Structure 1
Amino acid sequence: MIVRAGTGWQYALADLSLILFLVTASALAQASSAPKAPPPAPPPAPIAAAFTTEPVAVWSAGEGAPPLSQWLAQVAADPRLEVQIIVRFADKKRDVAMAQAVQLVTEGGPRASAARILVEPGERSGASVSLNYASEAFAVPASGPAASLARVSLAR
């Protein structure tokens, strides 16, 4: 038997390494040229998360509750307090909830006319009105031409 130089296991290992390199490079080239799906959009944050302050007082319609306008006149004397109306609806009754929110604004009188309104689906239907301290950045001036502009920016 004649053994030739250069036919050992080192050459077989080098050949297998080269094959593995070519297969990996080919797979990476195909993966990078394939169209990539856009990353999934993050779930929307609940709208109620926009209300970052704790309520100072909460009103809800019920037996023995004062009328909304009377309650607002008694409790909401501080001009820094912001009126927030939250109406939840179930069973796809969004239109009824919207009408209820408008009715609460009307019942609340002038203090509720600049209220922040939130209508959202929920497990149970219901409405509540809360008073929260507004951020200093959004404080509404008492009078002057900037007062109407500030009210508009608060309503957004």
Structure 2
Amino acid sequence: MTIRGLSSWQTALADLSLILFAVVAASYREESEEAEPASPDQAVEIALGQPMAVFRPVGDADLARWLTLQDMGEGEVATVVVRHLPGEATGATREAAELVQQIEAGGHQARLMVEPSSFPETLVVIAHDRHSEREAVAGT
């Protein structure tokens, strides 16, 4: 009796691995040398992480009460996003700073993002996107 059949699966797996490597290497070779710059929308998406809760301060909405209902856990950050019309950055920054102050008064970490836009908008986004300093250094 030969034990030849037991090692044949290893040869097949090695062949498939080599084929996969060749396909991936060929696809990298065909890519252009210059990478396309990331769009600002992609940068905002990356900065915010995956939103878990969104607050829009409209009417009698109470940010402090909303934050207590969210039960923010480890690694979750409240990001204040204020979009303003061109030339209205001062007022937008003042409004954003007030929201950050409310968040920090509640004992939570806050991040601030103020940007020009074709329509004004204010919101607070809670996302799980805070990483330890060790992870941030390792990722760079």
**Fold match, TM over 0.5?**
yes
Percent identical among aligned pairs is 22
* 1:60 maps to 2:53: no
Aligned counterparts of 1:49 and 1:56: Cα–Cα separation in 2 = 13
Deviation of residue 79 (structure 1)? 2.3
Secondary structure of the 2:87 match is coil
Could you say which residue in structure 1 is the equivalent of 2:14? none
Distance 1:89 1:53 in 2: 22
Could you say which residue in structure 2 is the equivalent of 1:22? Answer: none
Taking the aligned partners of 2:116 and 2:72, their CA distance within structure 1 comes to 31
Q: Distance in 2 between matches of 1:94 and 1:81?
A: 27
Runs of 4+ residues over 4 Å off in structure 1: none
Unaligned runs of 5+ in 1: 1-41, 140-148
Aligned runs of 1:7-156 on 2, under 5 Å?
Answer: 45-46=39-40, 47-51=43-47, 53-65=49-61, 67-108=62-103, 109-112=105-108, 114-135=109-130, 138-139=131-132
Which structure is richer in relative contact order (CA contacts within 8 A, separation 6 or more)?
A: 2
Separation in structure 1 between the aligned mates of residue 49 and residue 38 of structure 2, nearest angstrom: 20
TM-score, with structure 2 as normaliser? 0.58
Counterpart-to-counterpart distance in 2, 1:95 and 1:44: 28
Taking a change above 3 Å as real, the CA distance of residues 70 and 80 of structure 1, as seen in their structure-2 partners, is same
Q: Which has the larger radius of gyration?
A: 1
Say if 2:79 and 2:110, in contact at 8 Å, map to a contact too. Answer: yes
Compute the displacement of 1:133 (Å).
Answer: 0.8
Q: Secondary structure at the match of 2:79?
A: strand
CA 96–64 in structure 1, closer or farther in 2 if over 3 Å, else same: closer
